[in-house]
Amino acid sequence: MTRRVTVSLDDDSRAALETLSAETEQGQSEVIRRALSFYAANFEAAGEQPSDNLEQYYLMLSSGEHVLLDVDFLHAFLEHVYDPSGPAPSFVEAADRVSDYHAHEYAGRFTGVGELLEWLSFCSFLTVRSEDDGAYHVVFPSEPIRWFMSRFIERSVAELPFDVEIEPGVSKAIIRERPEGD
């Protein structure tokens, strides 16, 4: 059963409705029904300021520079190339090229290891907890990801004004920032 509802639209809302109707080739009633259903399903997110993370995800994905990847695929890829006695040299070479590119990209972006770790945490590669003594306790989803991300972190800070010290565990690490050259 459908019910008729009368609504008042301001100029921006009216223009948005007309644009959506034209783009979707749907009638105004259908566009409004779908918009209302979407709003109801996403009420919490719509009722708050968009998070910085959501905005960053959008920017990363819309640029085509990053893709969504199921974490199980990431584990499968790394398990395939990772061997505790040493990963495949061709993989290390390829990963190092990516790390070296990011070192250049990060040169003007991060001023401390905490900012870098927060960014990588945002990308879901790790979780990080800051300690009062300047150490960061970092937890990785697995040993291969710890190896992969630790190597990435070491290489990607090459052009930043600090060095890092990484004390690896099995799937955890303690990371400290050292002034460059120490």
Tens of pLDDT, residues 32-51: 888 887 777 766 655 555 56
pTM strictly above 0.75: no
| Distance, CA of 46 to CA of 144 (rounded, Å) | 38
131 compared with 59, residue with greater pLDDT: 131
Query: Could you read off the pLDDT of 74-128 as tens digits, one per residue?
Result: 778 877 777 777 778 888 899 999 999 999 989 988 888 999 998 888 777 889 9
- pLDDT computed for residue 151 by the predictor: 93
- pLDDT computed for residue 49 by the predictor: 57
Residue 53, pLDDT > 70, answer: no
Structure tokens at 98: 């990516």
- pLDDT computed for residue 109 by the predictor: 86
Cβ atoms within 10 Å, residue 157: 22
| Distance, CA of 159 to CA of 107 (rounded, Å) | 5
- pLDDT computed for residue 42 by the predictor: 66
- Where do runs of H (alpha helix) occur along 42-168? 43-47, 52-62, 71-81, 89-106, 113-122, 143-156
Residue spans per domain, the chain: 11-47, 52-179
- Residue 1, exposed/middle/buried by CB under 10 A (0-12, 13-18, 19+)? exposed
- pLDDT computed for residue 86 by the predictor: 74
155 Cβ contact list (under 8 Å, min separation 6): 96, 99, 100, 102, 103
- pLDDT computed for residue 61 by the predictor: 72
